Amino acid sequence: MNIIFLVDANGANVNEVSVDKNLGSSIFAQYPFGNTSFLSDATFVSVKGEEYLYVNDPGQSTILVFLVPAPGKATFVQKLELGAPLKQLRVTAG
């Protein structure tokens, strides 16, 4: 079994999906973030031997952070707020 993560921008969900050797798949876990989120991008980063998934949420001006110690064990750990720093720097959308 392999685990992949899919970001559903329209539904504002991060989906942890199990894929078997025959390419059959099923949603293993789902992390919803509400109708004001618009999840757009995700990447894995290794920090001190631990794997993290960073998900961009421009709808909330945040970065969502998950700790992923093993397949099926993702844990939402932080919502990094970018709104105030972006406003202070006078960064606007568009």
The string of pLDDT tens digits covering residues 32-77 is 888 878 888 899 999 999 999 999 988 888 899 999 998 888 999 9
Q: What is the DSSP string of the chain?
A: -EEEEEEETTTTEEEEEEE-TT--EEEEEEEE--TT----EEEEEEETTEEEEEEEETTTTEEEEEE-SSTT--EEEEEEE-HHHHHHTT----
pTM to 2 decimal places: 0.79
Domain positions in the chain? 2-88
